[in-house]
Amino acid sequence: MSTLELLSEHACFGGVQRFYRHASAAIGLPMQFGVYLPPQALQAGAKVPVVFYLAGLTCNEETFAIKAGAQQHAARLGLAIVTPDTSPRGTDFPEQSDHWDFGVGAGFYLDATEEPWSAHWQMERYITEELHALVGQHLPVDTARAGIFGHSMGGHGALTLALRHPGQYRTVSAFAPIANPVNCPWGEKAFSGYLGMSRHTWGEHDATELVAQYPVPPYPQGILIDQGLADKFLPNQLHPEAFEAACAAVGQPLTLRRHAGYDHGYYFVQSFVGEHLAHHAVGLALA
């Protein structure tokens, strides 16, 4: 298990916002992540529940901490929030930064099988195995009480990782997720580049196709999704209606809230992040 290098620490709502770097065995490169520890976690011997937040395209481990205004809600609820980076960084791949929606800042939270990406783009294994164990060992969090949520590409990641690892995450929610990536340009580009051309393999990383395979709802307490109706990516990239229909077909409880006037950005996330953390708090038996 690698050690953590503390990069910075900031007092915040009675708790502390930290940023760390560590050597990642899964990625094969240094990785950075943020963590907010609420006041309850700073008491001697304390371990608090944790939610993992997955950010969207072009973002990094700082984006949510700086833009979402979530710490005040996490402090009140006693939740830790872990924010991993969105991809490996620092490779020598010439094409790694050619596209804003593929490569650096666009890991799509899966394990790539196609070269050269398979050498380092192992984001599913990094988040669900390495980072999960790392924060449990080194930080005052209870990884047996873990939830996951995210925004856009990170919403895709939250839904798919929750559906692929239902025993690991007790709660799940998303903001404007890429909910049916096998049928949108972002998903087609990422999946063909990282996974090859097999659409069957793509379906293993598509929330709509994954939830349809469950004979019993994997999250009986419900999944929460918020979607802005002024989101410019809604018509062609996100397809929440496909995920909604798939959940209905298998009896998976879903609260999909559509909000007039809200776009795809962090003003939208700020507006509802408190309700998402409350959703996780209830599911993690805090409220």
Which value, to the nearest 10 degrees, does the dihedral of the CA atoms of residues 126, 238, 171, 7 take? 40
Which one of 264, 276, 279, 280 is the catalytic residue? 264
Which one of 24, 87, 152, 173 is the catalytic residue? 152
Cα 154–Cα 121–Cα 190 angle in degrees, nearest 5? 60
- What backbone torsions phi and psi does residue 109 show, to the nearest 5 degrees? 55, 40
Instruction: Note if the bond before 253 is cis, omega within 30 degrees.
Output: no
Which one of 111, 205, 231, 280 is the catalytic residue? 231
92 is annotated as an active-site residue: no
45: alpha, beta or left, given left = phi > 0 and alpha = psi -120 to 50? left
Strands 223-228 and 254-259: parallel
Contact assessment for residue 144 and residue 171, using Cβ atoms and an 8 Å cutoff: no
List 205's β-bridge partners, or say none. none
Query: Rounded to whole angstroms, how far apart are CA atoms 17 and 158?
Result: 22
Contact assessment for residue 81 and residue 51, using Cβ atoms and an 8 Å cutoff: yes
152 is annotated as an active-site residue: yes
Q: How many helices (H) and strands (E) does the chain have?
A: 10, 9
For the annotated catalytic residues, the residue numbers are: 152, 231, 264
